Amino acid sequence: MDLEFSPEEIAFRDEVRTFIAENYPAQLRGKQDEGDELTKEDFLSWHRVLAKKGWVAPAWPVEYGGTGWTVTQRFIFSEETARADCIRLMPFGLTMVGPVIYTFGTPEQKAHYLPRILSGEDWWCQGYSEPGSGSDLASLRTKAERDGDHYVVNGQKTWTTMAQHADWGFFLVRTDPDAKMQEGISFLLIDMKSPGIEVRPIITLGGEHEVNEVFLDNVKVPVSNRVYEENKGWTCAKFLLAHERVGIAGVASSKRGIEKVKEIAATEIDGDKPLLANPFYRRKVAELEMDLTALEFTELRTLAGEAAGKGPGPESSVLKIKGSEIQQRLTELALEAAGHYGAPYFRGFGEGDNEHPIGPDWAHRTAPSYYNMRKTTIYGGSNEIQRNIIAKMVLGL
Ligand SMILES: Cc1cc2nc3c(=O)[nH]c(=O)nc-3n(C[C@H](O)[C@H](O)[C@H](O)COP(=O)(O)OP(=O)(O)OC[C@H]3O[C@@H](n4cnc5c(N)ncnc54)[C@H](O)[C@@H]3O)c2cc1C
């Protein structure tokens, strides 16, 4: 693997760096620096800047609005956005349902939904998991019964991230109760403003409203909102999950995370020396950095495979496991650096709190982030399930 960037790639990197420096929304930077919770508008503000530039969906085919960048350019772009601490774009439209629609959708579905995903006009959520159907997703029970030119959907979804903001959701529903589990499922696009949909918040350990329960009570969905064939939705579901897992590795943002931890540990005093001089802490940072470098090369190999026309396969499970573990270890190191200053903010620093946080400015986010990041080994298919996939599909056990 040639790891040196060419002069053209360096010029591209500089172009991206300058663009971010000149266009990243100032109010967003301010909120991130303060550790404030971000609103829908905040997330959309960066999305819109990239959409206007034509850079919001680098991996999409050019005909649907992608950039046509090489794999290396895509890598540089994600490195630069992480390096500049840009927020991550919401994945539900851009990296989940978008690719499903341009791969399996009808010409009408492509023409309608894809431009709205790119512009940020539609905010999407993912209605896969149900109470009792998470890892064993194919056991899902939300049912859709055909009634003329529409389906009537009844059931419950759970853990639906950011559904409180969503205009649309992509849902897995059972359309044939008599078929074998995977064979009776369809993939529906549902307008979240449809009568019969109720979204209820679930507040997580860190005090955040990020996930929800979604109840569907006789929701009417036009048959034209089904992607791909009836009862063949599992094909779309699996395709989407493999794409989801690659993005989940979060290599570029973890690299930035390590830099931050090192900056903190270089200034925080432990006894009479900086924390980074403590051999036990230093060793943990070094081990994490080595694991991250190894993960980065694994991701580069996957990207190189993609460039050669190979879709993400079971190896994406390795990226998911290692990437999520590293994300968690990073928050553990940050919380360890904060020590007792992390403790008063286990439930976050709420909106409207007008006290100045005690301790260093960065410390009040460490406990909520530590709790929040416990999710990474659960969502996107839990790490135990990824290990099962590796055992079966990669190792042939
Ligand atoms: C923060 C967060 C956000 C999420 N967002 C969404 C979303 O937007 N949309 C959505 O549809 N879902 C979402 N999910 C749901 C997520 O996909 C599920 O939580 C996940 O698939 C695990 O399912 P479960 O919670 O039902 O746990 P279970 O499947 O009940 O698993 C419980 C435990 O048993 C283990 N386990 C289960 N089966 C096996 C097995 N065969 N072998 C070994 N171990 C096993 C699991 O690894 C886990 O540790 C989100 C979850 C979280 C935590």
At residue 207, does pLDDT exceed 90?
A: no
- Does 248 have pLDDT greater than 80? no
Residue 279 carries which side chain, given as an amino acid letter? P
Residue 58 CA, ligand 1 centroid: distance in Å: 29
- Choose which residue among 136, 139, 159, 162 to substitute to test ligand 1 binding: the one with the highest number of ligand atoms within 8 A of its C-beta: 159
Residue 289's pLDDT band (boundaries 50, 70, 90)?
A: very high
Mean pLDDT is lowest, of 81-85, 182-186, 248-252, 382-386, for 248-252
Q: How far is the CA of 134 from the centre of ligand 1 (A)?
A: 5
Mean pLDDT on 190-210: 94
Position 395 pLDDT exceeds 70: yes
- CA 128 to ligand 1: nearest atom: 11
Nearest alpha carbon to residue 186 among 133, 228, 216: 228
According to the model, what pLDDT value does residue 316 have? 83
CA distances from 63 to 57, 110, 111, 115, 227 (A): 12, 11, 11, 11, 20
Nearest ligand 1 atom to the CA of 162 is 8
Least confident range of 36-40, 157-161, 213-217, 355-359:
355-359
Q: What is the pLDDT of residues 313-356, one digit of tens each?
A: 777 889 999 999 999 999 999 999 998 888 776 666 555 566 66
Catalytic residue among 244, 268, 296, 315: 244
Catalytic, 244? Answer yes
Residue 126 CB–ligand 1 contact under 6 Å: yes
Question: In terms of pLDDT, which residue wins out, 79 or 109?
Answer: 109
Ligand 1 pocket, mutate which of 129, 171, 373 (most atoms under 8 A from CB): 129
Q: Is 385 in the pocket of ligand 1 (CB under 6 A)?
A: yes
Give the residue-averaged pLDDT of 79-108: 95
What's 174's DSSP letter?
Answer: E
Q: What is the DSSP string of 112-170?
A: HHHHHHHHT-S-EEEE--BTTBSTTGGG---EEEEETTEEEEEEEEES-TTGGG-SEEE
Q: Is 384 in the pocket of ligand 1 (CB under 6 A)?
A: yes
DSSP summary character for residue 278: S
| Band (247; pLDDT cuts 50, 70, 90) | low
The stretches of 181-315 forming alpha helices (DSSP H) are: 233-248, 251-267, 279-307
Q: Is the pLDDT of residue 392 over 70?
A: yes
pTM equals: 0.93
Would the CB of 378 count as within 6 Å of ligand 1?
yes
Per-residue pLDDT averaged across 246-265, rounded?
87
Mean pLDDT of the chain: 91
- Sole residue written with tokens 């819109």: 48
Distance of CA 369 from the midpoint of ligand 1 (Å): 20
Average pLDDT on 240-267 reads 85
> From the CA of 137, how far away is ligand 1's center (Å)?
9
From 162, 240, 382, 387, give the residue whose CB has the most ligand 1 atoms within 8 Å, as the site to mutate.
382
Cβ(388) – ligand 1 distance below 6 Å: yes
The rounded Å distance from CA 297 to ligand 1 centre is 28
Report how far residue 340's alpha carbon sits from residue 144's, in angstroms, rounded to the nearest whole number.
Answer: 51
Q: Which residue has the higher pLDDT, 70 or 141?
A: 141
Of 133 and 33, the one with more pLDDT: 133
Burial group, residue 32, by CB count within 10 angstroms (0-12, 13-18, 19+): middle
Ligand 1 atom nearest to CA at 126: 9
The alpha carbon of 72 and the centre of ligand 1 are apart by a number of angstroms equal to 33
Residue 129 alpha carbon, nearest atom of ligand 1: 11
Whether residue 124 contacts residue 169, with contact meaning beta carbons closer than 8 Å, is answered with yes
